[in-house]
Structure 1
Amino acid sequence: MTHAALLVCPTSGKGKAARMAGTVAASLRDAVDRLDLHVGYSAGDTARLARKAVADGVDVLVVLGGDGGAHLGVQACAESGTALAVVPAGTGNDLAAVLGTATVADVVTALRSGSRTPFDLGLVSNGTWFATVLCAGFDSAVNERANAMRWPAGPRRYDLAILAELAALRSLPLVVETEHGVEELDATLVAVGNTPNYGGGIPICPDADPADGLFDVTVVTAVSRTALVRMLPTLRTGGHVEHVAVRTLRAKSVRLAGDNGWVGYADGERVEELPLTAECRPGALTVVSA
């Protein structure tokens, strides 16, 4: 028997999740033996309901929402016996993209096949788990701006936020410490990738693999505004890693510090100011993937 819970984040996608909820629930009921329904009307409520579902011993927690809701599902399901599935209904949907679940039909097919896959997670020093990318610097400033914007929806929101933040661009001191050593440099941004994409499909760490037990780290060092503008189109293809100003490395753990006032964002959510440490935990999550 498969006992699942559907956690609906009704405000995701400007109400898209609420409009989809009935259809999604009906589809899931055809694929599981029991389905509990939870509706979270705030981040705190969603987090509480996710923890409750896991405590109730459900086999699968299905999140209907965007990356914010998925992030809360990750917090509850990490290192538990409950697998996580995501039906995308948000703005970026980066975790659903890497899981290959573009629709509820994809989740239903995976549930019927009984497919379960181990998935690495990042664990931040303040106890927050992340599934996709942790970033700081220009990235996190873009995140703060994009999260405050009401228009447009989707990846274009991040594109406009990037352009807006260029006006305040400046490089600042960054310390990157891994098991391989310490690097001190002036940097524009740093991204610690468990998966390739953030910001609605931008492959900032194009070779990151959530099954290899390692982070891929991308650092954009000191660059002029003009140079960064010229680099932006390559972000959509992953070609930015070939730029002379970009440094990449792989590590099991990363400590980010420096006199820069940067704030770390993980899965698009504000985490804490630097310094912070992120550790890759292999197979810490079980996922339902297509």
Structure 2
Amino acid sequence: MHTGKIVLIVNPGAGDGSDLEVIGDWADARPGATVRRTREGGDAERFAREAVDAGASLVVAAGGDGTIREVARGLVGGASETRDRRGLRPGEPDLPTLGILPLGTGNDLARSLEIPLRIGEALELLDRGERRLMDVVSLTLDGAPAPFYLNALTGGFSGGLHGTIDGETKAAWGSLSYLRSGVEAWKDRSVYPIEMEVDGKRTQHRALNLIIGNGSSAGGGMPVALGADPFDGLLEVVVFLDASGLELSGLAARLFAGGDDDHPALVRLQGRSVRVRTGGELLPVSIDGEPGEAADLSIEVLPGKLPVLVPPRSIQGQAG
């Protein structure tokens, strides 16, 4: 059992009442645990910064990918602010470890980290998980620095989907809301001529879709960046090329089945830094589910920046 100071940052709009009750019971059984509930955007990041300043050793994000993203940004930003304010050296104080309780619709980061999606198993992981240093990804959009991301940036067809999926659709369709919105948006798909530079090597493509993954799962559970590992200091770049509807339907089926080797409509690359330029046309993007657009994207992996609790390596691959 974790015995240090624990702060649980809970999005009460995610999950259901039974999940929240179980989380509350878990916290009540630990004298060092405090539960803070978000009410609006920005709360989770602020609570995480305050947890760093208060000396928490474990900060748990209970919610969807958006909540987890906010908490992670608050942890990294809060540690930097605390160092500056107290005149500490780089590396002091240590960041609290991030724990994850996946209560969202897509839960892509949890899937990428092999964190169990069942709330009881995810809570058990908070006590027996392994602390590992996860990579994060820095991002610049059209020359302007943007907040780092954790799991995946998608661009093109899938990049525009997240802006069309509202809370009502998620509530009614669950994880299938991503597939439903994709089918509806298919008729309006565009092809984007892109120039891509991966670790200095340039290529050009006519792309329907682009994924730059630190994690393997995107779009509500689709394993698209199969070679991505959030701990290896590399990014997985996946480009879906312009192709016929029949070819792309076959590729989608293979992706859902967990395999896509050697498909002619797919390009896979790996590297530490990626630049994507469209020649001026705005590319719709989704950054860990957060919508945006840009014509010039610069992406770089920052190795080992965020401590996170994950299943011990001896049992990875068994999460459900």
- TM-score scaled to structure 2, two decimals? 0.82
- Does the aligned pair in 2 maintain the 1:220–1:247 contact within 8 Å? yes
> 2:74 is matched with which residue: 73, 76, 99?
76
Which residue identity does 2:289 align to in structure 1?
G
Structure 1 residues 41 and 274, CA, compared in 2 at 3 Å: closer, same or farther?
A: farther
- Does the aligned pair in 2 maintain the 1:118–1:287 contact within 8 Å? yes
Which residue identity does 1:24 align to in structure 2?
I
Which residue identity does 2:217 align to in structure 1?
N
Aligned counterparts of 1:254 and 1:279: Cα–Cα separation in 2:
6
Which residue of structure 1 lines up, in the alignment, with residue 178 of structure 2? Answer: 158
User: Structure 1 stretches of 5 or more lacking a match?
Assistant: none
- Does the aligned pair in 2 maintain the 1:142–1:165 contact within 8 Å? yes
Q: CA deviation at 1:237?
A: 2.5
1:206-240 Cα deviation digits (max 9, x unpaired): 12111110001000122233432332212212433
Q: Please list, as runs of the form range in 1=range in 2, the aligned pairs for 1:175-214 lying within 5 A after superposition.
A: 175-214=195-234
Structure 1 residues 244 and 74, CA, compared in 2 at 3 Å: closer, same or farther?
A: same
Which residue of structure 1 lines up, in the alignment, with residue 265 of structure 2? Answer: 245
When Rg is computed on C-alpha atoms for both structures, the one with the higher figure is: 2
The DSSP-based 3-state class of the residue aligned with 2:39 is coil
Which residue identity does 2:10 align to in structure 1?
V
Q: How many residues align?
A: 286
Q: CA deviation at 1:253?
A: 1.0
| Structure 1 range deviating more: 222-231 or 272-281 | 222-231
Q: CA deviation at 1:108?
A: 4.1
Q: CA deviation at 1:41?
A: 1.1
- Does the aligned pair in 1 maintain the 2:156–2:190 contact within 8 Å? no
Q: Please list, as runs of the form range in 1=range in 2, the aligned pairs for 1:48-197 lying within 5 A after superposition.
A: 48-78=46-76, 80=79, 81-97=95-111, 98-113=113-128, 115-125=130-140, 126-147=145-166, 150-151=169-170, 152-197=172-217
Which residue of structure 2 lines up, in the alignment, with residue 10 of structure 1? Answer: 12
Q: CA RMSD in A?
A: 2.1
| Structure 1 range deviating more: 222-231 or 132-141 | 222-231
1:122-166 Cα deviation digits (max 9, x unpaired): 121223122211110011122222346625333211111111111
Which residue of structure 1 lines up, in the alignment, with residue 301 of structure 2? Answer: 280
Aligned counterparts of 2:116 and 2:264: Cα–Cα separation in 1:
36
- Does the aligned pair in 2 maintain the 1:234–1:240 contact within 8 Å? yes
- Does the aligned pair in 1 maintain the 2:99–2:126 contact within 8 Å? no
> Kindly, what percent of the aligned residue pairs are identical?
26
- TM-score scaled to structure 1, two decimals? 0.90
Aligned counterparts of 1:281 and 1:155: Cα–Cα separation in 2:
30
Runs of 4+ in 1 over 4 A off after TM superposition: none
User: Structure 2 stretches of 5 or more lacking a match?
Assistant: 80-94, 312-320
| Structure 1 range deviating more: 109-118 or 157-166 | 109-118
1:172-213 Cα deviation digits (max 9, x unpaired): 211211214111221111100111101221011012111110
